[in-house]
């Protein structure tokens, strides 16, 4: 990387994939501000039609787009294809959500005229995208924002700029004006400039809690700028008594190690009741040993590719060793497969006897295991976090799940399902350090437009019925 050029490298090979010039933030904001009123003035049906064309453009180039995602983000091609499918599906879901969440309403009141509810776009929205889902997650903000009539400035992760540029390119091909949807290339400084810029009206962020908190702090004195934060989690998967040990182990492995653990909904903590601990851990370890970690584009598709870069791999290895030093018992050692590439084998460590377990999001294939005597203790341990994004219960009765659901602090609560893989047709968000009560996915429509209440009559009619001199 130079002062003027951003370079993207393939995690699996270390080879250069893409390079592009840093963007001029002031110029991008200025262009967006000039362009958005005309876009907002279009009929919603016209904006929706162009977004449907965008979905068709992505479909047309689906395989090439999936390969780009696999190469730049390091995820297996099979998983990249599911991400492309999610990008396409987001349009229809967003159209439905727009109509349901921000539709027009009118009530007639005879001589008192009528009351109306309509929604207006905010203006110029900043979307700060992550590297783990470099197309799907930014797209989940961009499409609802454009349908609502906003202009959008996407600042993709500096680790996956090629995917962000391609995503916006599909929109331009579909007829979304170039100044209405822009990609802003850059690093943290460009992101900070977009957040603080007086010409931006909203910030839609997906990423680490450290950055999200910094954004929240920066804009705390500016309540006029809408802010939606999705900041991950220290997610628990709780296993209580079940005869389906193999299925439970599969759900655990899917939760912890899909996307090399680089999902905000990934299970970070496995909390197990003592009565099934030995049998369950044996099954989890047996399945984990079978997982293929390899090149995302290999003919025999791996379950996991690399993590995003060598620095991330080094930090995860250091975290694994730190947990051992603190008293953790390694069950499956995390290993670097190659010294100069970020391929990691899954790490599993029993931290039951660690006195002060760190309440942080270790963003990778690292699972901490905690033994507890019963379900109530498991619920208490699951809630022993400042985060609150996703939680799953495996096993138990309907009554057990009812108790779990009622007492767990999380925005996504599942039963006999993984912690990850949330539906785009439902709201997506959490509490605590996981977000700021502005869930995305189906509820993204809520933060992409603001409600306007009106009292209306076709002609003025009024009188004062009391308190006047004769």
Enumerate the active-site residues: 230, 264
Residue 10 has a CB neighbour count (10 Å cut-off) of 20
Q: How far is it, in rounded angstroms, from Cα 33 to Cα 38?
A: 10
Residue 38 has a CB neighbour count (10 Å cut-off) of 12
Q: How far is it, in rounded angstroms, from Cα 354 to Cα 264?
A: 24
Return the bridge partners of 391, or none: 413
Q: Tokens at residue 183, please?
A: 């990609």
Q: What DSSP state is assigned to residue 275?
A: G
Quick one: CA torsion of 383, 385, 389, 391, rounded to 10 degrees? -40
Q: Tokens at residue 196, please?
A: 């603080």
Q: How far is it, in rounded angstroms, from Cα 436 to Cα 387?
A: 11
Can you list the pairs that 48-53 forms with residues at least 24 positions away whose Cβ atoms lie under 8 Å?
Answer: 48/95, 48/98, 48/147, 50/171, 50/174, 50/175, 50/176, 51/91, 51/94, 51/95, 51/143, 51/146, 51/147, 51/174, 51/176, 52/91, 53/173, 53/174, 53/175
Q: Among candidates 309, 249, 242, which has minimal Cα distance to 275?
A: 242
Which are the contacts of 310, defined by CB distance < 8 A and separation ≥ 6? 340, 341, 342
Burial class of residue 26 in the structure, from the number of CB atoms within 10 Å of its CB (0-12 exposed, 13-18 middle, 19+ buried): exposed
Residue 407 has a CB neighbour count (10 Å cut-off) of 14
Residue 93, SS3 per DSSP: helix
Which are the contacts of 222, defined by CB distance < 8 A and separation ≥ 6? none
Q: What DSSP state is assigned to residue 300?
A: S
Q: How far is it, in rounded angstroms, from Cα 263 to Cα 363?
A: 7
Which H/E stretch holds residue 36? helix 25-41
Residue 4 has a CB neighbour count (10 Å cut-off) of 8
Which are the contacts of 365, defined by CB distance < 8 A and separation ≥ 6? 256, 257, 260, 261, 304, 307, 316, 334, 344, 345, 346, 347
First to last CA, the chain: 82
């Amino acid at each position: 990387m130079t002062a003027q050029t951003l370079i993207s490298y393939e995690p699996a090979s270390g080879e250069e994939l893409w390079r592009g010039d840093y963007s001029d933030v002031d110029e991008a904001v200025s262009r967006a501000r000039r362009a958005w009123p005309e876009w907002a003035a279009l009929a919603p049906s016209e904006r929706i039609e162009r977004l449907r064309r965008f979905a068709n453009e992505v479909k047309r180039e689906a395989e090439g787009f999936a390969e780009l995602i696999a190469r730049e983000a390091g995820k297996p091609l099979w998983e990249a294809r599911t991400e492309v499918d999610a990008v396409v599906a987001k349009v229809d879901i967003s159209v439905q959500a727009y109509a349901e969440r921000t539709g027009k309403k009118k009530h007639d009141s005879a001589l008192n005229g009528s009351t109306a509810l309509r929604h207006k776009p905010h203006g110029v929205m900043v979307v700060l995208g992550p590297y783990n889902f470099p197309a799907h997650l930014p797209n989940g903000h961009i499409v609802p924002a454009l349908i609502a009539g906003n202009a959008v400035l996407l600042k993709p992760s500096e680790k996956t700029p090629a995917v962000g540029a391609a995503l916006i390119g599909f929109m331009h091909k579909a007829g979304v004006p170039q100044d209405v949807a822009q990609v802003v290339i850059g690093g943290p400084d460009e992101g900070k400039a977009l957040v603080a810029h007086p010409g931006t009206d909203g910030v839609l962020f997906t990423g680490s809690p450290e950055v999200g908190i910094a954004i929240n702090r920066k804009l705390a004195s500016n309540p006029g700028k809408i802010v939606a934060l999705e900041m991950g989690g220290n997610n628990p998967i709780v296993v209580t008594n079940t005869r389906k040990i193999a299925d439970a182990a599969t759900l655990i492995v899917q939760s912890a190690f899909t996307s090399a653990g680089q999902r905000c909904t990934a299970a970070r903590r496995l909390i197990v009741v003592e009565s099934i601990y030995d049998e369950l851990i044996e099954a989890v370890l047996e399945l984990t040993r079978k997982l293929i970690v390899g090149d995302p584009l290999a003919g025999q598709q791996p379950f996991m590719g690399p993590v995003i870069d060598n620095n991330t791999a080094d930090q995860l290895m250091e975290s694994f060793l730190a947990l051992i030093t603190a008293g953790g018992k390694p069950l499956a050692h995390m290993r670097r497969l190659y010294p100069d590439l970020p391929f990691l084998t899954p790490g599993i460590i029993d931290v039951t006897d660690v006195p002060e377990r760190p309440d942080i999001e270790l963003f990778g294939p690292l699972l901490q295991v905690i033994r507890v005597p019963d379900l109530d203790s498991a619920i208490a341990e699951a809630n022993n976090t400042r985060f609150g994004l996703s939680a799953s219960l495996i096993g138990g009765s309907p009554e057990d799940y009812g108790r779990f659901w009622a007492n767990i602090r999380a925005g996504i609560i599942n039963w006999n399902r993984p912690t990850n893989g949330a539906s785009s047709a439902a709201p997506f968000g959490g509490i605590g350090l996981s977000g700021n009560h502005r869930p995305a996915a189906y509820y993204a429509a809520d933060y992409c437009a603001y409600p306007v209440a009106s009292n209306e009559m076709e002609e003025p009619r009024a009188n004062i019925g009391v308190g006047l001199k004769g």
